[in-house]
Amino acid sequence: MDFELSMEQDILRNSVRDFAEKEIKPVAQELDEKEEFSLDTCRAMGELGLFGMIVDEAYGGQGMDYVSYIIAVEEIARIDGSHAATIAAGNSLGISPLYYYGTEEQKHKYLPKLCTGEGLWGFGLTEPNAGSDAGNAATTAVLDGDEWVLNGSKIFITNASAPNSLGVTVMAKSGTREDGRDELSCILVENGTPGFEAREMHGKLMWRASNTSELYFDDCRVPKDNLLGGRGKGFHQMLETLDGGRLSIGAMGLGGAQGAYDLALKYSREREQFGRPISQFQVNAFKLADMALEIEAARLLLYKACWQKDHHKAFGKLAAMAKLYCSEVMGRVANEAVQLHGGYGLMKEYDVERFYRDYKLLTIGEGTSEIQRLVIARLIGAI
């Protein structure tokens, strides 16, 4: 077994880390406070090649492997969860469905702009009454001649109302199957289409500089050719998309845990009480040791899941495990990092406070921790 990263992957990690330290870190706190999505840093991430990382160069992508993509998300998350969310959702939820299921015409129309960061694309799955039960979507798509007519709403959709958002993939009920269950299909809806409105959401606990939206469809008409990957294939497409998306959420948990740990280690070495650095007290040294241990274990699990995907092996179980474990590791690490900062860890001027807030979304988005345990239980044959 070879655990060595390639030279290209090492270079990628160093370049993304350097970018995050120099370009994102100086503005992250202010953007979080203002709940402001930064078009400038989004474009800068695009210029660095962080969008379309797994997409073939023929469509404007970088043609990289999944391990490389996850390393990039990890390094952005090490500095700021909001920017990592933009990258993770942009690649795994926005670009991937178009890349894997789109027609050649759809790919050439949308992917070049999405792969440069010039544009973003949303993933319309969650609804006010359909979260974990995503298949219970109430949004409808009725074929009327050569057009789909959409009615309904979506909520908590990333990258759908940013200044450079181009559109969204919408899962909707398009009919009834022979077994009486809902037929679910994915429809592409461009921003600016009459009857479609994307409203930016504010007042979030975490990812405050990430764009999050509510979507509304009121007799929204789009061409029949905007169907993605075949009628009735929507739920299957969404599930496969979520499998890949779990890896990027895992990377956000891993990177966030690393970032919180780095802050805690630095602070505990500098902070003195009773005449010596607090890192030297056994109770704190053991905290740091446990944090380092869990981060290392999380990284190995996540990278193995990505390796499985890169080698076209079954990776769904490992993806669910990695998403679950990395998310919860970040929670434990961020909690101890705040504890090591003491009262200062509760103040917004210290970045560790933001890491503590940002972790919570990871145990909810892309399938809650409870849903991940259900997925794993099914895949190991327990239920």
Q: Give the catalytic positions in this structure.
A: 366
Q: Phi and psi of 200, rounded to 5°?
A: -70, 140
Candidates 188, 355, 259, 224; CA nearest to 20 is: 259
Q: Phi and psi of 260, rounded to 5°?
A: -65, -40
From residue 253, give the alpha-carbon distance in Å to each of 25, 146, 326: 18, 44, 5
**Lookup result for tokens 């995503």:** 134
The four Cα atoms 132, 90, 182, 365 give a dihedral, to 10 degrees, of 0
Candidates 99, 107, 220, 83; CA nearest to 159 is: 83
| CA distance linking residue 136 with residue 355, whole number of Å | 33
- φ/ψ bin of 284: left (φ > 0), alpha (ψ from -120 to 50), beta (otherwise): alpha
The four Cα atoms 165, 138, 238, 362 give a dihedral, to 10 degrees, of 70
Candidates 275, 151, 316; CA nearest to 219 is: 151
How crowded is the C-beta side of 226, counted as CA atoms within 13 Å?
A: 24
Say how many residues make up the chain. 383
| CA distance linking residue 204 with residue 114, whole number of Å | 26
**What are 139's two structure tokens?**
């949004």
β-partners of residue 273 are 276
